[in-house]
Structure 1
Amino acid sequence: MAQVTTKDVMEKFNLKLVSGHEGIGRYITTSDISRPGLEMAGYFTHYPADRVQLIGRTELSFFEMLPPDLKRERMLKLCSQETPAIIISRNMEVPQELIEASNKNNVPVLVTSMKTTRFSSRLTNYLESKLAPSTAVHGVLVDVYGIGVLIIGKSGVGKSETALELIKKGHRLVADDCVEIRQEGENLLIGSPPPLLEHLLEIRGIGIINIMTLFGASAVRPYKRITLVVELENWDPDKTYDRLGLDEEKMKIIDTEVTKLTIPVRPGRNVSVLIEVAAMNYRLKKIGINPALEFSRRLDEVIAMQDEIDEY
């Protein structure tokens, strides 16, 4: 899992650091944001100290109503050793009691010009993206007709060559050789290339080529949602391959089940065209059009009709 520090958030959202400078390297381990309204009222029984604390106009207006001794007490409790940061919205003035408590416990206090709700939404999205569970898969990720197709298979089976054919046909490369995958939500897998391999494709006999340089910026994209996995394997004459498409195979990546197709490779088969058709057929199935089920229905009708004729 990637790590995010308070300094990363400060630089990402251009926040102003007011106090607690020594704690700027604290790690943020959860994407949940806390609005410490109950804590301002003195209820710390279930205080989520490991979350970023976001203080808005409502919390500060209530805080100003407290007597001085309670102000100092509440801020000292708010600035715990686990708290990664306290952020004040709307460029509001930071209370002196908070500055003193943050400096004492080295909890960074930052200020943003954005409204509380807007900043909370943007920060949550950023942290969910950065802290999402991740893995790396050996394969090629290509955007085919808007479908993120992850091509996997043994080394040398022709994954990169197939991707090159797809790119020449107008589809877009996301990643070659190593695909970094993050689960940014339920059933939401996002694939992207490692920075070192971005825009690059390796073709045996030619070497490494830069797709963006050769085919232009429209031939690449930085990330794509993965919705279909295609496994290429060398043709095995003793193996029975699915010819109807009634049984849908799944592949689990992190916590998400993704539809998987197995395409046997042998001389004379145009694999890039097969992947194009697989992507289009997947889109049709998603809108309720399934040729395999339609064929099965027609076959059942023919068999039933033949049975009636035989009985007659």
Structure 2
Amino acid sequence: MVQSVSSVTVGDLVKNVRLKVIQGKDYLDRPIITSDICRPALEFAGYFTHYPAERIQLLGITETAFANELTHEKRKTYLERMCKPQTPCFVVSTDLPVMTELQKAAKEAHIPILGTHLTSSRVLGNMTSYLVSRLAPRKSVHGVLVDINGVGVLITGDSGIGKSETALELVRRGHRLVADDRVEVYARDEQTLVGSAPAILQHLMEIRGIGIINVMTLYGTGAIMPEDTIDFIVHLETWTPDTQFDRLGDRGDTQTIQGVVVPKVSVPVRTGRNLAIIIESAAMNYRANTMGYDATETFDENLSRLIKQNTARDKARRETPKNDQ
């Protein structure tokens, strides 16, 4: 599994978060190396010991109001100190006017100034979400990712076991392909795993005996997705008589990828089994479980009720006196 990190420029941020360029359009190729964003407050009080210069600097109502209470000389000094060579850009929220001292300092340092009508909290969330999706460490996982009625299912297993053929049947049944063969995986947060296809493999599948096919060309745009959360893992294993597989669904297997724990089931592959229907059912059962319904609990309740009924009946038979012959 090879780890990789995408690169992002200020221009990418402008395009994808819909920011406007107030100043410095010639410097939009500056790199952004972290998804963390700084809202400088202590810096306007003159504290620069731990100034995160490599982060985007976001100025909102609070920061701007505090800076405006400073003297011109202090604003000039502090803003010049904020304009470091590694600083990607400044973002001014809520359509606030840009301080003259900031315009001059950023121009001399070749740092763009961006603006938005959104509040600081809104634009902070938008930028963080985009940057995390682009800058988070990625792992390349061998498998197929399919969206089954809103459940992202990662199908894994040994090469040649039938993952792609099963995914193709799922696409024919109306589900959507995200990635075949290699899945680029990253953690959006501590509980959410996201997968997508490498650029070279987008919309493509390899079917042994046929070759490479373009799923979007054959089945339409409704048959593909650019990325999806990985909610559930189905691992395909070759069936052998001595292998024990979960029959009641109460084993609770999981797999940890990028620090995120994902539920997992192992499905035996044997001649005559319709894997597409089995995986489709597994995905729907997972969704039912997340909504509070557990078929295993229903089975246990039915079994307990049946045992109680049989026990009561046997007890009644033992206590009933026999008729004299």
Q: Which residue of 1 aligns with 2:228?
A: 224
Give the counterpart letter for 1:202 in structure 2.
Answer: E
Task: Name the CA distance, whole Å, in 2 between partners of 1:115 and 1:146.
Answer: 31
Shift of 1:32: 2.7
Mapped to 2, the partners of 1:107 and 1:37 lie a distance apart of 22
Matches within 5 A, 1:1-312: 1-12=5-16, 13-16=18-21, 18-19=23-24, 24-29=29-34, 31-90=35-94, 92-103=96-107, 106=109, 108-117=111-120, 118-307=122-311, 309=314
The TM-score with structure 1 as length reference comes to: 0.88
The count of residues paired between Structure 1 and Structure 2 equals 310
Task: Name stretches of at least 5 consecutive residues in structure 2 with no aligned partner.
Answer: 320-325
Asked if structure 2 preserves the Cα contact closer than 8 Å seen for 1:85 and 1:107, the reply is no
Amino acid at match of 1:148: G
Q: Which moved more, 1:82-91 or 1:138-147?
A: 82-91
When residues 10 and 108 of structure 1 are mapped into structure 2, their CA distance, relative to the original with a 3 A threshold, is farther
Share of identical aligned residues, percent?
Answer: 44
Contact 2:27 2:112 in 1 (8 A): no
Q: 2:69 & 2:147 partners in 1: Cα distance?
A: 57
8 Å contact from structure 1 (residues 21, 103) kept in 2: no
Contact 2:288–2:294, Cα closer than 8 Å, also in 1:
yes
Cα gap change, 1:22 to 1:295, in 2 (>3 Å): closer
Q: Structure 2 length as normaliser, TM-score?
A: 0.85
Separation (CA, whole Å) in 2 of partners of 1:20 and 1:77:
22
How far 1:258 sits from its partner (Å)? 0.9
SS in structure 2 opposite 1:151? strand
- After TM superposition, the structure 1 stretch with the greater mean CA deviation from structure 2, 175-184 or 54-63, is 54-63
Deviations 1:78-114 (A, max 9, x none): 223443322233555544433443355x361313142
CA RMSD across the alignment: 2.6
**Separation in structure 2 between the aligned mates of residue 119 and residue 297 of structure 1, nearest angstrom:** 50
Unpaired segments ≥5 residues, structure 1? none
Alignment deviations for residues 186-223 of structure 1 (CA, whole Å, 9 cap, x no partner): 21111111121111111111111111111111111211
What is the alpha-carbon distance in structure 2 between the residues aligned to residue 228 and residue 61 of structure 1?
Answer: 48
Cα–Cα, structure 1 residues 293 and 218, in superposed 2: closer, same or farther, change >3 Å?
A: same
Question: SS state of the match for residue 218, structure 2?
Answer: helix
Offset, 1:28: 2.8
- Deviation sequence 1:153-184 (CA, Å, 0-9, x none): 11110111111111111111111111111211
